[in-house]
Amino acid sequence: MAPTTSSDLDTLIRDLPKTDLHVHLDGSLRLSTLLELADQQRIELPATDEEGMRREVFKPTYANLAEYLEGFRYTVAVLQTAEALERVAYALCEDSWREGVCYLEIRFAPQLHVHPALPLPEVVRAVARGLRRAEDEFAKDERVVKGEFPPFRGALILCAMRMFRREFSAGYGWYFDSCGYSPDEEVYARASLDLARAAAHFKDVEGLPVTGIDLAGQEKGYPADAHEEAFQIAHEAFLGKTVHAGEDYGPESIFQAIGDLHADRIGHGTWLLDASRVTDERIADPQAYVDRLAQYVADHRITLEVCLTSNQQTVPALAGDLSGHPFGEMVRRRLSTTLCTDNRLVSNTTVSREVRLAAETFGIDRKNLHDILTYGFKRSFWPGPYLEKREYVRQVLDVMSRVMAAHEGTGS
């Protein structure tokens, strides 16, 4: 049974424990913080107020993914100190907690913030401090103390980049300088390799809450196989693997992420079910290929991190009608899906908004809503032992059951 009114739905979503497994730190600043940091650091922005930045940079729709990513040049620019990184990480946790997100996986590309005065370890430690401060403070929340809501927990996912340019950061510029005349693909691979080794070190030696790695950036023209060695290292270090795939390219990209990079989850996966997006001429029957791939994803419970608003902003065909998004078919096929924000600032969204969009657009009922939210917890890259995760998920499910039962009596 679905909620009967918008108010009922909003209240139900507010009260349910939620996750965000796909949220980029540098795309999720508070806009007021971006403006403040830019002013302090004397970084010129296209506008000097929030309205102007929404008009000039963080728009409702974009022509394509490349234009969507342009706004990151400003957010990354203000995140070049440990203090700024810690502050923004804590604020992201706080914003998430306020809307009932009790488990959060913050992903970021540390090499975007590296320069001579800020080495990579300090970048990661700063974000970890922001996360841990949030965990400590939110544990004092009255709902948590009384056992009425799960405590806030989080983890970090380090992002490798499919491609980068020298001007992305001093850190990335160093790779071009140090790799001499190597082809660009080898430069990208070298950076990913270093990042995977660092992630394993932070997890196993320093005990930081680094639990996974990601491959982000432009898919088309930059295949995942260049990063195969890095993801093998992450695999051997028992890190979680998630890969942006099927967002800007077709089903073959998703297959490559699973086959070559051992992906446990897929970021976006928008075109998983679209046979018209198959471009490999060796695939004689695109529809059969897509069906087999979807079956494999379902059988192995490879979770799709779905970001509806972000996709609607970057895919012109979805701009006016979200019902064309494949999420509804993913749910019908009982695929493991979780709803995520991608970038809270760039997409001007929250987890609650994403859940409401899904419910209203695709007619998600209470059972499907319960399953989708549960997938987020069960398929998380939990920063601790399995038995600890199991106990946490059990607590989440108990709270969900109580909330669902309470709202049953109010018509929602």
Annotated catalytic sites, by residue? 247
Q: Please, which residues have CB within 8 angstroms of residue 59's CB and are 6 or more apart in sequence?
A: 313
Give the chain as a 3 state SS string. CCCCCHHHHHHHHHHCCEEEEEEEHHHCCCHHHHHHHHHHHCCCCCCCCHHHHHHHCCCCCCCCHHHHHCCHHHHHHCCCCHHHHHHHHHHHHHHHHHCCEEEEEEEECHHHCCECCECHHHHHHHHHHHHHHHHHHHCCCHHHHCCCCCCCEEEEEEEEECCCCHHHCHHHHHHHHHCCCCCHHHHHHHHHHHHHHHHHHHHHCCCCCEEEEEEECCCCCCCHHHHHHHHHHHHHCCCEEEEEECCCCCHHHHHHHHHHHCCCEEEECCCCCCHHHCCCCCCCCHHHHHHHHHHHHHHCCCEEEECHHHHHHHCHHHCCCHHHCCHHHHHHCCCCEEECCECCCCCCCCHHHHHHHHHHHHCCCHHHHHHHHHHHHHCCCCCCCHHHHHHHHHHHHHHHHHHHHHHHCCCC
Contacts 24+ apart (CB under 8 A), 204-208: 204/237, 206/125, 208/124, 208/125, 208/128, 208/156
Residue with tokens 């970084």: 43
Task: Determine the straight-line distance between the first and last CA of the chain, rounded to whole angstroms.
Answer: 8
Tokens encoding 178: 């140090």
Could you give the count of Cα atoms lying within 13 Å of 66 in the half-sphere of its Cβ? 6
